[in-house]
Each structure stands twice: as C-alpha cells, then as structure tokens.
Structure 1
Amino acid sequence: MPFMDKWSCLVTGAGGFLGQRIVRQLLEEEKQLEEIRLLDKVLSPQLLLEFSELKHKTKVTVMQGDILDEQLLHKACQGITAVIHTASVIDTGLWRRKEVMMEVNLKGTQLLLEACISASVPIFIYTSSVEVAGPNSYRKPVQNGHEGELLESKWRNAYPYSKKLAEKAVLAVDGQLLRSGIIMHTCSLRPMYIYGEGSIFLQSEITKALNNDKTIKRNKEGSMANQVYVENVAWAHVLALRSLRDSEKAQTIGGQFYYICDDTPPQSYSDLNYELSKEWGFKLGSKIGIPFTLLYWAAFLLEMISFMLYPIFIYEPPLNCHLLTLTNSVFTLSYKKAKKDLGYMPRFSWLEAKQKTSQWIGTLVAQNREYLKTKAP
C-alpha cells in the first residue's frame, strides 16, 4: 500500500539540538504533511518564526509543556498519524539528575506510548542512543558491529539504563492492534555521538579548551568510536517515517532498531574535537601520563565511596567507570542495515559536516574573545 495522502506528525523535544533539525526537514521535504505539532518545554520565538516560514501549507501547532504531563500528551496525540519521540535528558554523571532521567527518559516514553495507543496513533519512532549497546569494557574492542550482534549495555548509570528500558518498551508494542483496527508499528534509531552546530557537549569541550590555552584533553591512545553529523541523524528519522508510512515496508521495519552513523571517520572523541577546531588554533594535549587501568580503578574506588556515602550524602565523583569506558574504548558500528531497510545514506559528507561545524566553532571563539575584552582592566 502506498503512502497515506494526508498525514500529521508530533515531534517531542522539537526545540532541541536534534528535534529542530527533524522539524525543519519534515517541513521542507514532506509535501503531504498537513500538520506538525511541536512539543517541548521551551521553544524560542525565533525558532517558531523560522518553522512557520519554511512551509506555509503545513500547520505548525505549538504544544509547550512537560513530557510527564499526561493530559497534554493525550491532547497532543489526538488525530495524529505519527510520533517522533526525541525528548530526553542526557547526563554522564553517576548521581547527577538520575531521578529526572529515569522520569523523563523512561516514564515519559511510557506515558507517551499510552497516549498513542489511546488515540490510535499507528506510527511511533524513538530516538534511542548508541549507549544502549555499549561499550561495556574498554578491554574488549567492537569494530564494525551490527544489529545482528544484539549488543546490550550492562551499565546501571541512569542515562544508558533509562534509554535501554525505554527502547524495549517502544519495540514491545510493535504489532499491537489499535481500537481503530489499525496495526501500530514502531522502530528505534540509535545514533552515535551527535556533533554539529549548536551541540552543547561540543560547546562544553571547546569552552574547556579555551580556558586551557586552546588545548583539548586527549583520550586514551588507540580509542575509537563513530560520530555522526546532526543533519544526517535528522534525515534518518525522516526516512524511517517514510518507511513506516508504507504499510508493506512497515511489516519489515516495525519492531527493529537501527544504528545511525555516517562517513565521519571513526576516531577518538578528542581527535574529532581537534579536527573540528584546529582551524582556530586548537591543539591536542599530551598523552595521558597515568596508566589508564590505574585511572579506571581510581574511578571505581571513587564510585564505591560515593555508594557508601549515599544514604547520608550525595557525592558526585569527578570520574566514573561508565564515562571512562564510553570515551576510551574501541567501539565502532555499521549503518548497513539502515541503508538496506530505510534507504539511508548521509545527506552531508564528512567534509561538509566538518566545514559547517568548524564555522560555528569560529563564532564561539569570537564570542570568547569579545567576552575577554569586557573583562580586561
């Protein structure tokens, strides 16, 4: 069966780093999109103006509020054809925002699924994370991994744990018969580390380097991971949506998860930051002087101290084993399944992505320069 003629879409986290790109691409590419609903806690007036000007034939409806607001979710899902759920809280700490992440990432997803089932929404796409797959150990490299290997994170840290449980909940409802008589189909996309203009994580690393003579802290020698440009991740969501709107393809894609990366060369996170910023005079720091195994065990001891103190005092260690493993392992994955099933191919090359991101970093450097001038005596 071909695509539905007229359809509508709800995007959660629509004002976020990824969500706003998905909204832009839907407005630009989907000619039959009658209405798009934007759900987020905060949506800037400038962003809303841009969305409204992109495509005048598509109705843009703003639904400002919390993903835990059940009444709002039920209202947002009424009459909707598809949901793209990107809203999430990300944190790499041990205790920091743990309760919030479990509430937003897991409970919020469960509540949204319930609202979709109640409103007979037939399509649900979940923005998951590579962290639901691993890495579990810096000693065990995974190279060119794929979906068939069924890699699964063993970490109990709130972010990977909440995302893993939420993804399982999403995929479990695929194939459910809705009250309208339509079959519900779901799928999950697992992007690698997402970079690009506006990334708060990349901005944080650049800010740290600016405060350290433009020196980027180096990861463990030999570590390697995939990174993916934000516009390519957004495009993967559009293609997944198109595939699920086709009832024949939905039979194959429903209930599946897909790794999403692009042609950014696999490299360490510090090498990526350097490649994106070297045009502006940034440099890589010296190699880690402390043996990594010793650093890891130090993090483990700090975690044990934190757990022992937990009943009376919340101590957030400066290091934790999950973060060290995540940023200092060999863990690369393939997007071949997404290419085969979704027709996914990156819209932007590594060169284009690097140029665009580097230009944005240049604006951060200029802003920092202006800031320092105001502080000069």
Structure 2
Amino acid sequence: MSLRGYVCVVTGAGGFLGQRMVRLLLEEEKLAEIRLVDKRVQPQLREQRNYDQNKTKVSVFEGDIRDGDFLRKACRGASVVFHIASLIDVIGAVDYSELYGVNVKGTQLLLEACIQENVVSFIYTSSIEVAGPNPNGDPIINGTEDTVYTCSLKFPYSRTKQEAERRTLQAHGEVLQNGGRLATCALRPMYIYGEGCRFLLGHMADGIRNKDVLYRTSAQEARVNPVYVGNVALAHLQAARSLGDPQKRSDIGGNFYYIADDTPPVSYSDFNHVVMAPLGFRIQEKPMLPLRLFYLLCFLLEILRVMLRPFVRIVPPINRQLLTMLNTPFSFSYRKAQRELGYAPRYTWEEARRRTIEWLASQLPKERERIRA
C-alpha cells in the first residue's frame, strides 16, 4: 500500500536514522507533506526538496518533545507519525530524569497528541536493548519475537526505551477524537551502522589516538548482527504501509518486530575492524585486560563515581553493564517482519559495507586533523 497524499511526521528528523527516514519518504512516496520535528533542524535538512521529485511540502517544527502543545501542533492533520527521537546513553552521562523526560514522557505526550489530533498510525523506534542482554550475559542466537528471556534491565536508557515501547503498544486501539482508532507498532533494530553513525566515528577517533589500532572490548565469540541504516528506514516505511492497509492493520497493530538484515554476525569490536581495516586500521588481538579483571575495574570505577558524586561528576567510558552487552552473543531474526510487514533488506551486506567504508574514508582526514589540534 502507498502513503500517497499522506501527511507524515518524523520526530528526531535531524538524527542519524531520522535523516535517512526523511530522505526515503521523499524518494519513495508522493506525500502531501512531511514534517521534520526536532529540537534543532540543521539548515541542510530544510532543503530536503532537493531529493524530492514529487514536490512534497517540507515543514520544519523545532521544539521540545516534552511540550504537549508543540506536539499537537506538529501532529495536526497528520496521518502517520514515525517516532524516532530519543536520548541514547549507555555510560551514565545523562541524568535519569532527562532520559525519562525525553524517552518516556515525550512518547506519552506524542501518543496523546496523536489521539487528540486523529493521527491513525504510530510507528515507534525501539531498540534491541529493551530485550537485553541480562546481567548474567545469557546468550540469544537467532532469537525471535517469541523467544523467552529473563531480563532485569540495568541501563537507564534500556529501561526508558522499554517503558516507552510498552506505552506505545498499549495505546493500540485507543479511540481518537473523531471516533477512529489509533494503530501502533514498535520496531526493535539491532545496532545500526552506516553513513552518519557517531559511534563508528568515536571508535575511529579512539583508534587514531592509539596509533591506528582499534581497541578490543568484545570477545570474538560474542557475535551480534548489526543492521544497515538504509534497511532500518525501509522497515519503518513498510510498517507504515502495512498499518495503512485495513486487512493488515489489526494483525500488525500492538506488536513489536526485530529489524535486522544480512550483515554477518560478528562481535562489536570485530565489526569496527571490518569497516575500518580498508582504511589502514588494525585491532588488538585480545582485550587490554582479562574479562574478569575488566569487570572488577569497572566495579571499582562505579564505587569511585558514587563516592565522588557529592563533589564532582565523573563518567567512566565503560561500565559493567556495557561490558556485559559487548561480550554477550545476542542476535535476532527479521523473519517475522518479513512475513507480516513485507520487509526485505534492500541493501546487501556488500553494498552497506562499501557505503559505510566510503563515508568513514571521507571523515578520516577531518578526524585526524581534529585530534592533532
């Protein structure tokens, strides 16, 4: 089903996935309007008409996602909301109140705005981290939406994303002001990579400082299945098309879907090497410390952080929860999204890797210059 004539709202439109989503919508659909919602929208995004062959109206809404009146204005007359905006933090750099305010309260306010403004479809960008891994590091290999897994989430980020996902799915079927019904679903992408990925840039910068040797924080056997940003955007579009289909709407609504592609399973550290080796980077054969000693060091840093909290705030670059995530085999299948949403990865692993390497190559001189300065 096409979204022809729809008014679509994209929150987090200035971010990594948000920009790709906007571009895909302008390239693929004959929309009446697309609304770019973010705290700040970069000047180049205001010129998105350059991508658009169908002269879709592009509107910019700059504001705070915790502002209900602002969200109602952004949603007025819209048909579909792609809720991509969130705060991401796995090292404890952001206060929990800030994470909760943006990730949970912002989502709740946006759902309420959709109900008040009669938006019929809501697609929430969740995260693989709402599934785990648990503190024990119990593995999942090629898991599905039906995989049973006992998990007590430790990351504040994971907990807020899980709560926002729960509220989104719970809102499926809510009665709109005009008597219609809201349909919602959530997508759980694996670790997203591709052009614009700030995490890859961060690892590259660390490698430059370490004489072009990438740090190893993951054991080789701790395989995960990253997913290319272009395929994640496509999954969102397919979800919107499916929710717009009266025959599929009731079956899909209220469900979550894992989103992956055919990127080969590999550890987080080895994935960094796969996309940076062509640029001349090597990787440590083993972590700097044995894993158990690494955990102990993280524990001591956490104690130090608590002791110093009344006087100074320190944020260690790694903690026990992050170390567990980096060293737990945790991979999932996208077959349910394929069956029910009609999702099929558009970009092969070879093309996704090539595009990512080309982008990293374009950033490398800037990173070297920045670090030298």
Provide the TM-score with structure 1 as the length reference. Answer: 0.93
Q: CA deviation at 1:236?
A: 0.3
Q: How far apart are the structure 1 equivalents of 2:369 and 2:301?
A: 39
Between the aligned residues of both structures, percent identity stands at: 47
Secondary structure at 1:262 match in 2: coil
* Amino acid paired to 2:321: H
Map of 2:229 onto structure 1: 230
Gaps of 5+ in 2: none
Is 2:264 the partner of 1:265? yes
Q: CA deviation at 1:280?
A: 1.1
Map of 1:94 onto structure 2: 92
Q: How far apart are the structure 2 equivalents of 1:242 and 1:221?
A: 39
Secondary structure at 1:251 match in 2: helix
Is 2:295 the partner of 1:326? no
Q: How far apart are the structure 1 equivalents of 2:150 and 2:36?
A: 31
Q: CA deviation at 1:369?
A: 4.8
Q: Does the CA contact (< 8 Å) of 2:137 and 2:327 recur in 1?
A: no
Secondary structure at 1:339 match in 2: helix
Q: Taking structure 1 as reference, are residues 14 and 328 closer, same or farther at Cα in structure 2, changes over 3 Å only?
A: same
Q: Taking structure 1 as reference, are residues 311 and 165 closer, same or farther at Cα in structure 2, changes over 3 Å only?
A: farther
Map of 1:188 onto structure 2: 186
Q: Does the CA contact (< 8 Å) of 2:130 and 2:161 recur in 1?
A: yes
Is 2:142 the partner of 1:125? no
Q: Taking structure 1 as reference, are residues 128 and 284 closer, same or farther at Cα in structure 2, changes over 3 Å only?
A: same
Q: CA deviation at 1:129?
A: 0.3
Secondary structure at 1:148 match in 2: coil
Q: Taking structure 1 as reference, are residues 64 and 153 closer, same or farther at Cα in structure 2, changes over 3 Å only?
A: farther
Q: CA deviation at 1:171?
A: 0.3
Q: CA deviation at 1:293?
A: 2.1
Q: Taking structure 1 as reference, are residues 106 and 57 closer, same or farther at Cα in structure 2, changes over 3 Å only?
A: same
Q: Taking structure 1 as reference, are residues 183 and 371 closer, same or farther at Cα in structure 2, changes over 3 Å only?
A: closer
Q: CA deviation at 1:158?
A: 1.7
Q: How far apart are the structure 2 equivalents of 1:368 and 1:306?
A: 30
Q: How far apart are the structure 2 equivalents of 1:56 and 1:30?
A: 8
Map of 1:359 onto structure 2: 358
Map of 2:347 onto structure 1: 348
Q: CA deviation at 1:125?
A: 0.4
Q: Which 10-residue stretch deviates more, 187-196 or 361-370?
A: 361-370
Q: How far apart are the structure 1 equivalents of 2:363 and 2:264?
A: 24
Instruction: Report Cα offsets for 1:323-357 as digits up to 9, x if no partner.
Output: 11111111111101111111111110000010011
Q: Which 10-residue stretch deviates more, 235-244 or 152-161?
A: 152-161
Map of 2:67 onto structure 1: 69
Secondary structure at 2:178 match in 1: coil
* Amino acid paired to 2:352: A
Map of 1:107 onto structure 2: 105
Secondary structure at 1:223 match in 2: coil
Q: Which 10-residue stretch deviates more, 362-371 or 331-340?
A: 362-371
Map of 1:42 onto structure 2: 40
Provide the TM-score with structure 2 as the length reference. Answer: 0.94
Q: How does 1:208-357 map to 2 (within 5 A)?
A: 208-218=206-216, 219-307=218-306, 310=309, 314-357=313-356
Map of 1:23 onto structure 2: 22
Gaps of 5+ in 1: none
* Amino acid paired to 1:118: Q
Q: Does the CA contact (< 8 Å) of 1:35 and 1:60 recur in 2?
A: yes
Q: Does the CA contact (< 8 Å) of 2:115 and 2:175 recur in 1?
A: no
Secondary structure at 2:123 match in 1: strand
Secondary structure at 1:84 match in 2: strand
Q: Does the CA contact (< 8 Å) of 1:133 and 1:152 recur in 2?
A: no
